[in-house]
Amino acid sequence: MTMRTFLVLAGIGMTVFPACAARTVTLPEPSKLGGMPLMEALAARKTDRRTEGPAPTPQQLSDLLWAANGVSRPDGKRTAPSAMNRQEIELAVLTAAGLSVYDPKMNTLAPVETQVDFADQLRGASALVVLYYSEEKQTRESALVDAGFVGQNLYLLCTSKGWPSVFMGSVNRGKFAEALGRSEKEILFIHRLGVR
């Protein structure tokens, strides 16, 4: 099994997530035009813990996941750099519909079965992004740097959209590892956001 860093987005108002029998969902094409100019986004970027709001729409998820670490070039390279182009970062999405894993090459979400309750981690946020990794493909030091790249992409996208967000080290690591079936992974950070 290759080492991966996972990003999990959790929608608002969830308690227990039933086993999901849904099929893989193709997301809309991410919107890659418009938004706030880079220098304005950098100037406006800030931590804002007021992350209450509705769950993201499919278009909002597509834009968010692509900005975080989507495929940005025909050669398969990503929006976020990674050490030696190992591309250890993967994205998983947790919403009221359940847990899904993002495939950046196909722009799809594949459902994962889980009964884990994440209400205590959400606390009213529109979404959570959880970052974790394994030493199979990357060192911890490199994974921390790569997590920072993805976190900054998330911050800039949220700033451009007017969504409050906060990058944090406080997360129930065991709960997310259990839900994703990746107990050997080390969970590092969470990124909370509120859709407006």
Between 94 and 148, the higher pLDDT residue: 148
Task: Give domain status of residue 165, yes or no.
Answer: yes
Between 174 and 119, the higher pLDDT residue: 174
Task: Give domain status of residue 133, yes or no.
Answer: no
User: Look-up: residue for tokens 């959209």?
Assistant: 161
Q: Quick: pLDDT tens for 127-170.
A: 877 776 766 667 788 888 888 999 999 999 999 999 999 998 88
Residue 38 domain boundaries = 5-51+61-89+100-121+144-193
10 Å Cβ neighbour count for 171? Answer: 20
Residue 137: what pLDDT? 64
Task: Report the alpha-carbon distance of residue 20 to residue 14 in Å, rounded.
Answer: 14
Task: Give domain status of residue 23, yes or no.
Answer: yes
Task: Give domain status of residue 175, yes or no.
Answer: yes
User: Look-up: residue for tokens 């100037």?
Assistant: 43
Task: Report the alpha-carbon distance of residue 129 to residue 127 in Å, rounded.
Answer: 7
Residue 12: what pLDDT? 31
Task: Give domain status of residue 126, yes or no.
Answer: no
Task: Report the alpha-carbon distance of residue 10 to residue 92 in Å, rounded.
Answer: 9
pLDDT at 113 over 90: no
pLDDT at 39 over 50: yes
Number of domain units in the chain:
1
CATH number at residue 113: 3.40.109.10
Task: Give domain status of residue 107, yes or no.
Answer: yes
Q: Tell me the pTM.
A: 0.84
Percentage of the chain lying above the pLDDT 70 cut: 83
Task: Give domain status of residue 73, yes or no.
Answer: yes
Q: Of 6-10, 14-18, 59-63, 97-101, where does mean pLDDT reach its minimum?
A: 14-18
Task: Give domain status of residue 47, yes or no.
Answer: yes
Kindly indicate the confidence band of residue 7, based on its pLDDT and cuts at 50, 70 and 90. low
pLDDT at 184 over 90: no
One-character DSSP codes across 100-121: EEEETTTTEEEEE----B-HHH
Q: Of 53-57, 69-73, 131-135, 154-158, where does mean pLDDT reach its minimum?
A: 131-135
Contact criterion met (CB below 8 Å) for 51 and 193: yes
Out of 73-77, 132-136, 172-176, the most confident range is 73-77
Max alpha carbon distance in the chain (Å)? 44
